[in-house]
Structure 1
């Protein structure tokens, strides 16, 4: 035959039923094909068939390669059979050219069954069942067809003696592919007559290195075509007439696309668990069940075989062995599903797998896990074990151990794996105003206890404990970005496994404490919305977290680092109010005042303030400055530095304030004067505190969000000197009227502990029973009101003689009565001066001669 012959030995299924087979396109369907009807272990039948669902499936891939290896000798046997039949016909006649051409085009060999009888030390013993017929309709040339039909009609059959056929590959330096021994055969030659073959043959592989080379070219997609050449010495006879012994050489060319492809399969079961090895050393066992479809009349029993699972190293050409796999015995039946059970064991993780690659922060294991967790396919490799058990023939081990099959390993997205975020014991730290912009201290930080529930896939049945976590997380509120939570440092963690129940999947509860984690606010408007809900809302707000989490876990194989695990969840944050008037519960009280500086229009002072924190949160404030307003007018600003806010009572918080209402013009001056007067008179007064753009230096985004809100608070109560709450609530404690000298003295309680206040002018009127005037006090000479309690000099009294009030004073000689007072007073503190008014009620007054 010509070397370019491409006509197939195997016809299509249509031809097998007696229908015209069409042109000689050749067999293109693999012996084992996948089917969408075969269930997958994950329930998804829509995944590409060339993807594998788990790392165990890579072990199983070796099983299919065994099937593929078994098919090579079978494939050779059928090719040899075809070569033999055509050669027999061609050599039997006087007109060989026409008969040879007729035999090439008319011969149809259809396998009906191919089964493996046994594996021998040298090869395979296979049973071949097939049919042969000549179909003249396949011959295009009319002359050749007529000659061929006439010749085969004359010699209706031809026979052979036992024959050994040697198959070589001419394009590979006549590489010996294998040999096959056929028993005596009788072939019917009349057009349409069918010859049934049923015999056992020994198939012996040839050059193992050559077979490996061709197999690798086929697996790598570099095999364009294969040309087989069969050589044999045929002893022929027609009936009783011997035709002699003839040396023949025939060749066939198979295109790569017509060679059976690597079978596809589905993973129907996957389970990973811990097992104990020798010396109680822990290993990890992967159990996989694989199902594939055999659409061919192929029958064989594949014994247990061992394989190695490999992954790419830092250099993709450098493969790292990570697991050993063993397949169960596999019974391949014609035209039915084939099931294989695979057990893979990982005894340890090689250092080369977990060590970071040069010029990289990722190891080969990191890269594989990253692809897997992002749902991207990774490439693993399967290779026959170099240490097979004693029952595996050496020739099989030699072939399999040098063939490496790449396997697409489908990823499994872990989005949504982590859920149910909760935070408790939350502590906020405001930014350090003096930190550099790139310093983490320039951002607010969050500390607290985090509890996360992570779902565990049903196939993960091995022990796992999370020991540390770190992450870069983006925080969202109502789908809008709020900020970035930066957990660059490892945080200690621990985990507890919760076993699967009827209603819930297995899960891992991870607990961790984060400490001073920077929270960079990126959207001031969104931050303002969050603050508004925290301040005035009644329901918990939901902050969404999307993070890439690095996790250190302990397994039976040692400690692993899972990098950039996608995590999403919701963190409920309780509002400050929790359904209560939390601002009323603040109850600020000023315990001590110290004047630091004064100008003609301003006072700078320090105060120790007691306040109650009714919220579930704590905070550290390195620095913050706020404006103090009344009637929408800025009167002062207050600053706190290095303040720790705890739950409940907070005492002696140092606050520095600058009172300067004149910054807001004349109206501001008047509003400030009235506010102080009302405050000293004991009226219920309130102030508004509000952030501004420089409340926290360098944090304009945060400040803009905070400046949207005004917090109205009751003016802090002054703790004046005194023994009883009643005494401590009045600036003027009591008065003594000296009737004969027409003078009066008053006991004053100054809120200042360290500074004296001076009263430069007094114009006051005293009343009895709220309306009845007693007299007036006018003094233009200044006097001092030192810290604590003090008594004023005798102030002149101009009695309202004849009034009801005067009579009440006269009748009270030697006793007491309750008086009211209204006064205009000029007050001086250092360089600051102010004219105030005062209204006092229920002032206890003694009357003496």
Structure 2
């Protein structure tokens, strides 16, 4: 082959032309070489993708041009027969290029988005096949399908439907998925091992998945952090990332390669499943022998019921938990009180779940009952105080790390790293104490020397408290109440009277209510001198008025928070802040209280005198008709007559018991001059009437100084005037019988100062037998101006005597007093008729008496005086 022939074979199908003359030559060449020249040129004739011409191709074009110029005529051909194959080839190339571009770039992204939006997974069951040493083997059953209607973009939907229709099915090899917590340094949450899967991916085709997967938890610290944030309500957003490598192939076992998949998911806090609500359906406390010990402990059995709304089923093995309560500091270490062991828990889909736990407490730990630093309350006190007040109270439950037995260690690692607060069920304590009463009541007046802030400056109450309390039906242990401490508010007619503080020892008796009945405990405590702080004097006035003038019981309502000292098998501790309400019924004192007291003055002694006053001390006998006793450390009461203050009665350290009371020491200061001349005259008339045997009364009234440490109490009581008869003086010879007053009736309360008289007719003298009420003092009679009468009107004679003489204690006889007879009187004849016998006479006298420095002129009217007549 010649050189030209060789060049002809290498000439391209299409060559460049530089003139119209070359066109014909190229056409001729084309006709001659049509059968021997390929449709597509070799690579040496293909244009580069960078746009530059190949040098070899340029040489061939030049050679072709020279050969044409030698006169070789090109063959003629039809243009249409030569262009269609080239066009078709170009179109195929363009379509293939576009398909490659779409398949390489657009289709995978569209299919991925299609799969994300169309995928539907419906879990039907999750069951725990077994617990392994590394985690759990779970059986997951679900329905898988692609739903094209969930895809919003119509183009992506069509591409996805076409692609998945072509593929029909996809198969994966065994895969391991790791899940990380993005927000906390990509901590590993857990690992899941998935077996090979084959799933239908055509639109609407359902695949029932039945997967047995091995699930292994991540680091325990990570799980603890998640749990604490979730339980504390601090988990607003959770971002997790799942990472795996999936090896995929089609149903024809065409491998599609191994793909690294990383998916990030974000959950809002409200999207996280909440802790299930639960009810404590069983609770029982009882005494039970300690394991391997003869001692008794307190056993607690708790049953909690909840509902499982998820399609999850598995059995939780028996686990040990530590039960603690908060310590002194809110965020400080908790105090462990018990270890609880659960029964096996059967968790079934959409069904109730019952959790039963058992524990036994040997004794209460000392930190639980010891007062916190800087305070008086212990952690147990704070817990119970908040619980009784209705505040949310929780115990802390945490799994034990060492579970023992066949429980894998990873379970102990996880549950021991999470502390769950378990709220205690709210319970009303309003009806815990059914009755609260105070019997055998006695009262004590305030100490006059106490400071106003001193508890001794308040009235005091003594008596027996009886409280009947209901025990919870769940509590089946022995309780002994050893002390009661309370600060109670006392109300009358819904108004607060005062505050009562109680701090006494107590005893108790448990009462078995029988089947279907609640158990009770009767608490008895004897209170002694418990201060009653009166906060409203007006209410006190109303109470006293109701006691004095009412005819029905006076009811005082009690509202208190009680601290109860309890002794149990766990030891001695105090349950603080138990609410209690009760009533104190007070019997009315009666309208004639002072009259029925029947006061009698025994020994009477003058302890001090002045020209205008006299101080007396007496032993008084009274009868207390009320059911109450009283102690009076010191009291001062004004003595009044017709509204005029004549003196003051004082008493100290008096104990008034029920019934008869004897030898009560009372001091009286008689000083009517404080009220001026009117007071002096009223006082004089009062004493004169008294010694003359008249029915006399005095009025007693309190004042601001009645109780110096509590002036408001004296002021409140001053609204009441207590009027009573003048007390009877014990005079020697009273056992001889009574005497007759002016109206002829027997007056047993009148003093019998003149026991008798003897008249001597010839010497015109008379002597009188006197009885002094004083046990140690002598009364001096300074002056007598007396008239003796017969039959109340007939004058017998007069006696005037100005020489002082003494009347010592007991019975004594006066000197012979001169008698000035009335010669023309009928009475004188009666005296003669009675010569050698006795005669009853009346007398009127004005007498000046002196006791110490005190002197007073009194008038006296005596009737029925037995007189002997002698020659």
1:291 partnered with 2:302 = no
TM-superposed CA distance for 1:163, in Å, is 4.0
What are the within-5 Å matches in structure 2 for residues 495-514 of structure 1? Answer: 495-501=508-514, 505-514=518-527
1:492 partnered with 2:505 = yes
User: Which of the residues 281, 286, 297 maps onto 1:268?
Assistant: 281
CA-to-partner distance for each residue in 1:234-260, whole Å, 9 max, x for gaps? 24232x343254233231313142232
1:654 partnered with 2:668 = no
1:601 match: 612
Counterpart secondary structure, 1:611: strand
Change beyond 3 A, Cα 1:245–1:449: same
2:585 match: 572
User: Which of the residues 811, 832, 835 maps onto 1:810?
Assistant: 832
2:822 match: 800
What are the within-5 Å matches in structure 2 for residues 247-646 of structure 1? Answer: 247-257=259-269, 258-278=271-291, 279-315=293-329, 316-487=331-502, 490-501=503-514, 505-577=518-590, 581-646=592-657
In 2: Cα distance, 1:173 partner to 1:602 partner: 99
In 1: Cα distance, 2:837 partner to 2:709 partner: 64
User: Which of the residues 749, 757, 776 maps onto 1:754?
Assistant: 776
Q: Is the 8 A contact 1:820 1:841 kept in 2?
A: yes
Change beyond 3 A, Cα 1:734–1:170: closer
CA-to-partner distance for each residue in 1:237-295, whole Å, 9 max, x for gaps? 32x34325423323131314223222221222222222220312332222222221222
In 2: Cα distance, 1:276 partner to 1:495 partner: 24
CA-to-partner distance for each residue in 1:706-763, whole Å, 9 max, x for gaps? 2111112121111111162426942111111112222222111121222222323333
TM-superposed CA distance for 1:435, in Å, is 2.6
CA-to-partner distance for each residue in 1:356-407, whole Å, 9 max, x for gaps? 2222222222221211111111243211112324132222111111111233
User: Which of the residues 116, 128, 144 maps onto 1:132?
Assistant: 144
TM-superposed CA distance for 1:530, in Å, is 1.9
CA-to-partner distance for each residue in 1:414-452, whole Å, 9 max, x for gaps? 344334222234333322222333333333323332222
Change beyond 3 A, Cα 1:504–1:537: farther
1:219 partnered with 2:231 = yes
1:149 match: 161
CA-to-partner distance for each residue in 1:618-651, whole Å, 9 max, x for gaps? 2322211111112222111111122222222222
Q: Is the 8 A contact 2:436 2:580 kept in 1?
A: no
Change beyond 3 A, Cα 1:777–1:92: farther
2:109 match: 97
In 1: Cα distance, 2:144 partner to 2:549 partner: 91
TM-score, normalised by the number of residues in structure 1: 0.84
CA-to-partner distance for each residue in 1:63-100, whole Å, 9 max, x for gaps? xxxxxxxxxxxxxxxxxxxxxxxxxxxx9999311100
TM-superposed CA distance for 1:166, in Å, is 4.2
Q: Which structure would you say has the larger RCO, counting Cα contacts within 8 Å and 6 or more residues apart?
A: 1
TM-superposed CA distance for 1:695, in Å, is 0.8
CA-to-partner distance for each residue in 1:554-577, whole Å, 9 max, x for gaps? 122111122333333222223333
Q: Is the 8 A contact 2:447 2:709 kept in 1?
A: no
Q: Is the 8 A contact 2:167 2:250 kept in 1?
A: no
Counterpart secondary structure, 1:280: coil
In 2: Cα distance, 1:473 partner to 1:501 partner: 32
CA-to-partner distance for each residue in 1:554-612, whole Å, 9 max, x for gaps? 122111122333333222223333xx843223111111222233333322222122222
Change beyond 3 A, Cα 1:829–1:297: same
Change beyond 3 A, Cα 1:598–1:457: same
Change beyond 3 A, Cα 1:297–1:775: same
After TM superposition, the structure 1 stretch with the greater mean CA deviation from structure 2, 560-569 or 106-115, is 560-569
TM-superposed CA distance for 1:474, in Å, is 2.5
How many residues in Structure 1 have an aligned counterpart in Structure 2?
754
TM-superposed CA distance for 1:818, in Å, is 1.5
TM-superposed CA distance for 1:105, in Å, is 0.8
Q: Is the 8 A contact 1:92 1:243 kept in 2?
A: no
Q: Is the 8 A contact 2:734 2:752 kept in 1?
A: no
TM-superposed CA distance for 1:231, in Å, is 0.7
**Which structure 2 segments of 5+ residues have no match?**
1-102, 740-750
2:30 match: none
1:51 match: none
Q: Is the 8 A contact 1:420 1:571 kept in 2?
A: no
Which of these two proteins has the greater Rg computed from alpha carbons?
2
1:190 partnered with 2:202 = yes
2:760 match: 738
1:700 match: 711
Q: CA RMSD in A?
A: 2.5
Q: Is the 8 A contact 2:451 2:709 kept in 1?
A: no
CA-to-partner distance for each residue in 1:88-136, whole Å, 9 max, x for gaps? xxx9999311100100111011112222222233322222221112122
Q: Is the 8 A contact 1:372 1:410 kept in 2?
A: no
TM-superposed CA distance for 1:138, in Å, is 1.8
Counterpart secondary structure, 2:774: coil
After TM superposition, the structure 1 stretch with the greater mean CA deviation from structure 2, 798-807 or 384-393, is 798-807
**Which structure 1 segments of 5+ residues have no match?**
1-90
Q: Is the 8 A contact 2:619 2:663 kept in 1?
A: yes
1:826 partnered with 2:848 = yes
1:230 partnered with 2:243 = yes
TM-superposed CA distance for 1:681, in Å, is 1.3
2:135 match: 123
In 2: Cα distance, 1:119 partner to 1:784 partner: 117
1:159 partnered with 2:171 = yes
Change beyond 3 A, Cα 1:824–1:222: closer
TM-superposed CA distance for 1:173, in Å, is 5.2
In 2: Cα distance, 1:422 partner to 1:502 partner: 28
After TM superposition, the structure 1 stretch with the greater mean CA deviation from structure 2, 332-341 or 243-252, is 243-252
In 2: Cα distance, 1:208 partner to 1:747 partner: 112
User: Which of the residues 715, 730, 733 maps onto 1:722?
Assistant: 733
